[in-house]
Homo-oligomer: A and B are copies of this chain.
């Protein structure tokens, strides 16, 4: 049968013209070299100027440097970066000013409306983001009913390896995305499934369920998913009332009705980045005694000066919790806001843990924060 399929491959290739770019050299680049530099290659015969821009060249403030590529034979342009730290990197080519993904690289990430090619430099952190030879959890893409928002809404749920065959009940981490994100962001950009699989497999964190919602109240789901109709929604969508925060009880109800979870505050955690950090800041006090673990990643904690909010924060302090973790990068445009927020928390003796990092408002930091937070959760 093997010979038959080899023959069929030839026939298929010859007749449908699929050979090029599908089974050929297309998978050779980008190439991670032995010194962890990365070589990029793109064919652009007619181009005058070609460069690669990636978050391997991210500067403080969010600007990315262009690496100019050099034209070689047959209009093939190449460049090799300096050695890079172990990480997952996203990048685009600019060909005479037009931003494109890398046609030779199958790995792509969507960040909001923008698509990037991506490459993992392994060794250290990059290994944590790769699929390793460990037991893998399951991802569920569910639709839950939200009576508050009068909509069926999409969420992504990670179940740790062994959930299906076990009779156990599990703790739950609710993990919220930022502005321009949706229910796909934490899995795609945040590598949540890989981080959790790898931390759990090496005994670095407890087994837990991770629930990743869509925090845009006007969206039923990622705009990529719905097709034309959703794109229309997306174009016309407004952040409305009721808010995602008000609807959050619908999420908890769905999860607790449909999964084997421990329905106790000491087994519920909530974390979010940027806008999702703002949601976490709100939800953690508007659903009192629900979460014993709260984490703000580069969080939009605006509004903490309002009297109602301050009263609610005092109530949250009095209700108690096990962890209130605030993480932000020194170059983040929300850094000062978070420092101001903590200065206020100090005045009311609200206990929190501060994690200051390098860098700015980036997925690099949010992946790091998740990998640091998870081991602190649900530990006796």
Contacts and interface: CB of A to CB of B under 8 A. Distances in A.
Contact of A229 (B42, B62, B130): B130
Given A22-B114, A62-B17, A113-B27, A5 B275 contact: yes
A225 interface: yes
A11 interface: yes
B27 A234 contact: yes
16 contacts: A5-B239, A6-B239, A8-B275, A15-B62, A22-B112, A22-B180, A28-B235, A42-B98, A106-B113, A108-B110, A126-B228, A130-B226, A130-B227, A130-B229, A138-B142, A141-B141
Contacts of A11: 333
Nearest to A95: B98
A112 to B, nearest CB: 5
Contacts of A21: 113-114
Interface of A: 1-2, 4-9, 11-12, 15-18, 21-23, 26-28, 32, 42-49, 61-63, 88, 95-101, 103, 106-108, 110, 112-115, 119-122, 126, 129-131, 133, 135-136, 138-143, 152, 154, 161, 164-165, 179-180, 220-221, 223-231, 234-235, 239, 241, 243, 245, 257-258, 274-275, 278, 282, 300, 302-303, 333, 361
A266 to B, nearest CB: 26
Contacts of A120: 227-229
Nearest to A143: B136
A142 to B, nearest CB: 5
A16 B62 contact: yes
Given A8-B275, A119-B228, A18 B112 contact: yes
Given A18-B112, A26-B113, A275-B8, A227 B107 contact: yes
A152 B136 contact: yes
A245 B231 CA distance: 40
Contacts of A139: 140-141
A153 B61 CA distance: 42
A106 B223 contact: yes
Contact of A4 (B17, B103, B258, B303): B303
Contacts of A100: 98, 100-101, 103
A32 B228 contact: yes
A23 B180 contact: yes
A2 B239 CA distance: 8
Contacts of A161: 143
